[in-house]
Amino acid sequence: MSNSSAAPPLLELRGVHTHIGAYHILHGVDLAVPQGQVTLLLGRNGAGKTTTLRTIMGLWRISAGELRLHDRMVGNADRHITPPDMVDQGIAYVPESMGIFADLSVQENMLLAARKARRAGDLDTARLEWIFGFFPALRKFWLHPAGKLSGGQKQMLAVARALIEPRRLLLIDEPSKGLAPAIVQSMIEAFAELKRDATTVLLVEQNFDFARRLGDRVAVMDDGRIVHQGSMAELAQDAALQTRLLGLSLDSHQ
């Protein structure tokens, strides 16, 4: 897939501010997420990356600015978007906390995420097999309580729930955090397959090898603002820019 910035944005934030209580977290975020590409959102801890995803999903209110989908305004300070609104728009969110239901089985967690399925027999068998190909542990523990899974297996389940149906946009917060290298590789392969299907992804990630291998575009945040947008390939090749924007070199985080 081309890394060209010419792809039209599926999602766009224009001057978005977010307050959480008395705290002003996002300070006029301008972000374009091209359709059919993987955009990485990078930055130091506390830069505002998770707040950006949560604001897009309607979990936090926009206090100024606007959110646009396919160049249509869907949310601003006067028009609050909600998570059900965004789900109806074909958007899935995988939070860093994973958000799985510990007392339910893996199967039941997947069924809840599949809006068109009322029972296990309604699940898309071909899509399930595709998911099992990347995350075979989910097949093995299909009827087990999700709370009994290991941390890595829970992360697999959280991502798999977002993939159980085709989505227009995936918002994913640090999917590789704490995972063993073999599981990270499976995650990379799953997202690479989504790229081939032209699924749009906005990904917060601290594993820079993961970011380099998957990203088409990159946006870097600092102090609640976007301070750089460009191609992932250009950032990956420019150690001086990496150090200036992130305080480190990608080569030191392989």
CATH number at residue 71: 3.40.50.300
Judge if 15 and 86 occupy the same domain.
Answer: yes
Summarised one tens digit per residue, pLDDT across range 2-57 is: 444 466 799 999 999 999 999 999 999 999 999 999 999 999 889 999 999 999 99
51 found inside a domain: yes
What does the pLDDT read at residue 248?
58
Q: Taking residues 211-235, what's their average pLDDT?
A: 93
Pairing relationship of beta strands 200-204 and 38-43 according to DSSP bridges:
parallel
Q: Are residues 178 and 86 in the same domain?
A: yes
Q: Are 47 and 17 in contact (CB under 8 A)?
A: no
Q: Is residue 115 part of a domain?
A: yes
Q: Indicate whether 220 pLDDT > 50.
A: yes
Instruction: Please tell me whether residues 202 and 161 are part of one structural domain.
Output: no
Look at the chain and report how many structural domains it folds into.
Answer: 2
| Residues 139 and 178 placed together within one structural domain of the fold | no
Asked if residue 195 belongs to a domain, the reply is yes
Residue-wise pLDDT for 51-76, tens only, equals 999 999 999 999 999 999 998 999 99
pLDDT tens by residue, 129-150: 999 998 999 999 999 999 999 9
137 and 239 in a common domain: no
The string of DSSP codes covering 113-134 is H-TT-SSGGGS-HHHHHHHHHH
Cα separation, 215 vs 232, whole angstroms: 6
249 burial type by CB count under 10 A (0-12 exposed, 13-18 middle, 19+ buried): middle
> The whole model's pTM is what?
0.88
What pLDDT score does 177 carry? 82
- Is pLDDT of 160 > 50? yes
Percent of the chain topping pLDDT 70:
94
Distances in Å between the Cα of 67 and the Cα atoms of 9, 81, 122 are: 12, 9, 34
Average pLDDT over residues 191-211: 87
33 forms bridges with which residues in the sheet?
11
Task: List, for residues 88-115, the tens digit of each pLDDT value.
Answer: 999 999 998 888 999 999 999 999 998 8
Q: What is the CA radius of gyration of the chain?
A: 18
Q: Are 32 and 12 in contact (CB under 8 A)?
A: yes
* Residue span of the structural domain in which 31 resides: 9-90+173-252
- 233 in a structural domain: yes
Give residue 98's region: left, alpha or beta (phi > 0; psi -120 to 50).
left
How much is the pLDDT for 210? 86
Within-domain flag for 96:
no
